[in-house]
Structure 1
Amino acid sequence: MDVTARFLGGSGAVTGSKYLIDLGDFEFMVDCGLFQGRKELRDRNWDKFPTPVDELDCIILTHAHLDHIGYLPRLVKQGFRGPIYCTEASEELAKILLLDSGKLQEEEAEFARKKGYSRHEDPQPLYTIEDAEAVFPMLTPKPFDRAFSIHPGVDVTFFHAGHILGASIVKVVLKGESQTKKLVFSGDLGRYHDPLLFPPTRIPKGDIVWMESTYGDRNAPPTKPEEELARAIRDTFDRDGLVIIPAFAVGRTQLILYHLYQLMKKGKIPKVPIFLDSPMAIDTTKLYLDFHTDHRLSAMIEEEHEHAYKHPQLHYYQKREQSMSLNEFKGRAIIISASGMATGGRVLHHLFHHLPHEKNGVIIAGYQAEGTRGRRLLNGEPTVRIYGNEVPVKAKIYPIEGLSAHADQAELMDWAEGFCEKPKMVFIVHGEQLSAETLAQKLKDELDWNTIVPQYLESFVLFEGI
């Protein structure tokens, strides 16, 4: 059989990952992500799908971030009915994220309708909550490290990738009439020394490799985020202030909770109330308890009466009334709330009430895109607009580095060096053009790899007559 690959996303950009593999009598796709960021990318989500949906037999997911799963409701709405394979934790995480995405799509369409800024008379959501729910019956969970068949002669295995709970490296074995070939999809690779997640699994052999390049052109600063967190918190508490941490609900929140627990147990910060005020973050944190063998805290969770996600100082605030009550809280405390870039969500009313006071502190614990409130806070702007008001920024802003969930350039190279044999072809994907090209050149120079930076909708013949 001849084997071809087509790049329907995740090429020349970080988002929209979709890799179509055609075996002639069987087609499958690895990842089904939403395009995000620039308008020209987001517009692709509305385009007709570039290949016949009814010819697509199944989908394999590397992990549950929206840039890898967020297009699923749209594809199902267009008629896709095949199985969607993923790890067990990714199945549950996908349900949480897709429901939230459907809700946001509906809200954005309604807002555009009310404000009249859409070029359409009756703006519609890309998909709805109901469309998201239609995906759930197709999700087909599989365990890590155990091969399963998706078609006669096509086996798949999930290996730990780090990055977020349930994230996987995908190995696809094609058993042809005359030979066997291996395809390896890195997905998004995590950090090698992440305190929560296992390091990315080294794969000894792959004939064709898809390798992410999010940070292919840079290395993370040699910082100790736990110590930086402790200094920021102690400094704020010395002023009798309150700490607010805008945090991404998936991954970043759970890492911050771990660091805060460790700091309290070691006596590096005082034991004060920690309020986790984000329904999605709470639901995600519970998955860390349900799937505790999928991360490095299993011994802590199994053996300790209390742990990072259950201790007397930690309070889960699901209800809106609980969230609003924090506006009247007096004294030292830590509030963790979404969204991570302060673009929406409950964190806005916390910032609205606490930014104008010099005693308070705001910890910025992740990447802040240009134009977001988080970036404006980092830039030291004197006011930020919240709820239509210019809110004075008197609270002290503390940027914390070293909490990224992505492997940096050195760690990407470390993973690549795990291959015992040089792949025939390596596609550098999931990166902005500079990141992808920089990593591609480094792999060529240091490992003599045949690297290719594919473009959107480009096709390649992988094998002939296997």
Structure 2
Amino acid sequence: MRITFNGAAGGEVTGSCHMLEACGKRILLDCGMVQGSREAEARNLEPFAFDPASIDALVLSHAHIDHIGRVPLLVKRGFTGPIFAQAATCDLLPIMLLDAASLAENAADFANRDRVAGTPEIQPLYTRDDVAAAQKLLRPLPYEIANEILPGVTLRLHDAGHILGSSILELRASESPPRTLIFSGDIGMKGTPILRDPTPAPAADLIVMESTYGDRNHKDRAATVAELGSIFEKARADGGNVVIPAFAVGRSQELLYWFAEHFDDWNLAGWKIFLDSPMAAKVMGVYDHHTELFDTDAAKVWAGRIKPFALPNLHVSASVEDSKAINAVTGGAIIIAGSGMANGGRVRHHIANNLAKPNAHVLFVGYQAAGTLGRLLVNGLTHVKLFGADIPVRAQIHTVGGLSAHADQQSLVEWYAASPNHPPVALVHGEDSARNAFSTLLHDRFGTTVTLPQSGMTHDI
């Protein structure tokens, strides 16, 4: 068994993509989009480090774009094998990828308006037709059932507790001797609303493990919820709007969950709450279709007086006109919109409309990758250029880390510690500062052999 790291390695967090070779077969683990600066995202157009046609199967950990965003491109460039993922991930995937394809097509159309005669026409990364072709290859699987996906290669999915359908991948090869690889995907925090807690790490010969927060711990969840309440209280006193960049899958639904649970004590009845994300609205339908994946607390909230997806003052923007109309609301609005790192999508318009207002608040509730607008604002950027305008940053910027869908350092340690044999680890999906800190911690506490893969590195198991 051998693994080659082709993405989310070398200190990068996005672009998850790893190729496993076992029993004479090649299995790709994730095929995500590189996110961040324009230079980083331009790499998505580059050729894959392998021939897509040579891949026998693709296995997806979950439906975030940095883990699935290049799947249609893989198919477009020659991959024809099956795509295995948890059933909810299979339902979420076309929602996410059709949105990405639409953005790519619109960006190409816009760029071609200014194309100089005689120069090649700019093509989108992929189209909605490419998404449809990829969708036909999906093979939904349940949790905790071993399936032989290729001769000699067995796959078992475990709940990762990160977003709906997120999975820890356990791949076992019947070689001599047999070998087992665990790919953590993204591990969630215990107690995350709606979702069940992550399944503890099984025994393995190697764990390929995320390390996004390998160098820090999140604020206590109860303290985080209290902080959210205080931000809304201050924003209400200031009379401005609250803009919340949030991913359409996971974070948007979690926020609505907290709004339902604290509707009265946060005085939310006095706000207009906007979910300006048609994609997030579609995702809510997938959540409703997979209530069997909810934890017991979520079942109680869904049975309560105020239901998360049916708040009495919730307005879901179904059209561009609905989105634009929000700009007329000068105060008393909570606006949840994508993307979560403010690097694209409708939220950029809401940020542009509110950023110069001292009584406005911009609330970041998740990880902000290097080079994104979100990271720049969190780091104290004083002026932003958006839609051709230079906008001073006068709004109050908040970062609430305790809502992260990623396990923090202590939770990652606890997840790994549960593995019966404390196997070697390859740390991916983390900046170098996080990887280095977590590597030292694993070595000092468990004597673990830790590899910090660079992109293109091959590791024999």
TM-score (norm 2): 0.90
Instruction: Please report how far the alpha carbon of residue 419 of structure 1 lies from its aligned counterpart in structure 2 after TM superposition.
Output: 0.9
Find the aligned partners of 1:412 and 1:143 in 2 and give their Cα distance.
24
Instruction: Please report how far the alpha carbon of residue 115 of structure 1 lies from its aligned counterpart in structure 2 after TM superposition.
Output: 4.5
**Pair 1:57 & 2:36 matched:** no
Code of the residue aligned with 1:456 in structure 2: it is S
1:212 aligned residue:
210
Secondary structure of 1:309's counterpart equals helix
Find the aligned partners of 1:146 and 1:159 in 2 and give their Cα distance.
9
Find the aligned partners of 1:184 and 1:381 in 2 and give their Cα distance.
40
Over 3 Å counting, the alpha-carbon distance change for 1:420 and 1:373 in structure 2 is closer
Where in structure 2 are the equivalents of 1:343-362 lying within 5 Å? Answer: 343-362=343-362
- Structure 1's unaligned 5+ residue stretches are none
CA contact (8 A) 2:59 2:84 kept: yes
Over 3 Å counting, the alpha-carbon distance change for 1:270 and 1:204 in structure 2 is same
- 1:84-117: CA deviation from partner (whole Å, max 9, x where unpaired): 0001111121111111111222233333334559
Which is worse superposed, 232-241 or 185-194? 232-241
Over 3 Å counting, the alpha-carbon distance change for 1:49 and 1:376 in structure 2 is closer
CA contact (8 A) 1:7 1:20 kept: yes
**Pair 1:85 & 2:84 matched:** yes
Find the aligned partners of 2:162 and 2:280 in 1 and give their Cα distance.
16
**Pair 1:280 & 2:267 matched:** no
Find the aligned partners of 1:187 and 1:153 in 2 and give their Cα distance.
23
Over 3 Å counting, the alpha-carbon distance change for 1:267 and 1:9 in structure 2 is closer
Find the aligned partners of 1:447 and 1:34 in 2 and give their Cα distance.
33
Identity rate of aligned residues, in percent? 38
Instruction: Please report how far the alpha carbon of residue 364 of structure 1 lies from its aligned counterpart in structure 2 after TM superposition.
Output: 3.0
Secondary structure of 2:420's counterpart equals coil
Which is worse superposed, 49-58 or 32-41? 32-41
Over 3 Å counting, the alpha-carbon distance change for 1:47 and 1:352 in structure 2 is closer
Over 3 Å counting, the alpha-carbon distance change for 1:54 and 1:338 in structure 2 is closer
1:324 aligned residue:
324
1:185 aligned residue:
183
Instruction: Please report how far the alpha carbon of residue 322 of structure 1 lies from its aligned counterpart in structure 2 after TM superposition.
Output: 2.1
Instruction: Please report how far the alpha carbon of residue 330 of structure 1 lies from its aligned counterpart in structure 2 after TM superposition.
Output: 6.5
Which is worse superposed, 235-244 or 406-415? 235-244
Over 3 Å counting, the alpha-carbon distance change for 1:377 and 1:353 in structure 2 is same
2:25 aligned residue:
26
CA contact (8 A) 2:37 2:371 kept: no
1:45 aligned residue:
44
Where in structure 2 are the equivalents of 1:320-399 lying within 5 Å? Answer: 320-329=320-329, 332-369=332-369, 372-375=372-375, 377-378=377-378, 383-399=383-399
Cα RMSD over matched residues?
Answer: 2.7
Find the aligned partners of 1:330 and 1:213 in 2 and give their Cα distance.
40
Secondary structure of 2:262's counterpart equals helix
- 1:8-33: CA deviation from partner (whole Å, max 9, x where unpaired): 22221222222222225322111112
Secondary structure of 1:135's counterpart equals helix
Instruction: Please report how far the alpha carbon of residue 409 of structure 1 lies from its aligned counterpart in structure 2 after TM superposition.
Output: 1.4
1:124 aligned residue:
123
CA contact (8 A) 2:163 2:249 kept: yes
- 1:306-348: CA deviation from partner (whole Å, max 9, x where unpaired): 4111231222221222222223347633222223333333234
1:140 aligned residue:
139
Over 3 Å counting, the alpha-carbon distance change for 1:56 and 1:301 in structure 2 is same
CA contact (8 A) 2:115 2:121 kept: no
Which is worse superposed, 306-315 or 209-218? 306-315
**Pair 1:456 & 2:455 matched:** yes
Find the aligned partners of 2:6 and 2:440 in 1 and give their Cα distance.
23
Find the aligned partners of 1:446 and 1:150 in 2 and give their Cα distance.
36
Over 3 Å counting, the alpha-carbon distance change for 1:375 and 1:184 in structure 2 is closer
Find the aligned partners of 1:369 and 1:208 in 2 and give their Cα distance.
27
Secondary structure of 2:332's counterpart equals coil
Instruction: Please report how far the alpha carbon of residue 139 of structure 1 lies from its aligned counterpart in structure 2 after TM superposition.
Output: 0.9
Instruction: Please report how far the alpha carbon of residue 236 of structure 1 lies from its aligned counterpart in structure 2 after TM superposition.
Output: 1.9
Where in structure 2 are the equivalents of 1:74-113 lying within 5 Å? Answer: 74-113=73-112
Find the aligned partners of 1:78 and 1:365 in 2 and give their Cα distance.
36
Find the aligned partners of 1:257 and 1:446 in 2 and give their Cα distance.
39
CA contact (8 A) 1:9 1:16 kept: yes
Code of the residue aligned with 1:86 in structure 2: it is A
Secondary structure of 1:288's counterpart equals helix
- 1:216-244: CA deviation from partner (whole Å, max 9, x where unpaired): 22222446222111111111222333333
Which is worse superposed, 71-80 or 363-372? 363-372
Which is worse superposed, 330-339 or 49-58? 330-339
Instruction: Please report how far the alpha carbon of residue 302 of structure 1 lies from its aligned counterpart in structure 2 after TM superposition.
Output: 5.7
CA contact (8 A) 2:185 2:209 kept: yes
CA contact (8 A) 1:216 1:408 kept: yes
Code of the residue aligned with 1:163 in structure 2: it is H
CA contact (8 A) 2:246 2:338 kept: yes
Code of the residue aligned with 2:138 in structure 1: it is L
TM-score (norm 1): 0.89
Which is worse superposed, 219-228 or 245-254? 219-228
1:252 aligned residue:
251
CA contact (8 A) 2:143 2:157 kept: yes
Secondary structure of 1:79's counterpart equals coil
Over 3 Å counting, the alpha-carbon distance change for 1:212 and 1:383 in structure 2 is closer
Find the aligned partners of 1:161 and 1:458 in 2 and give their Cα distance.
26
Code of the residue aligned with 2:181 in structure 1: it is L
Which is worse superposed, 307-316 or 240-249? 240-249
2:299 aligned residue:
299
Code of the residue aligned with 1:51 in structure 2: it is F
- Structure 2's unaligned 5+ residue stretches are none
Secondary structure of 1:27's counterpart equals strand
Find the aligned partners of 2:394 and 2:8 in 1 and give their Cα distance.
40
2:416 aligned residue:
416
- 1:201-225: CA deviation from partner (whole Å, max 9, x where unpaired): 1133112211111122222244622
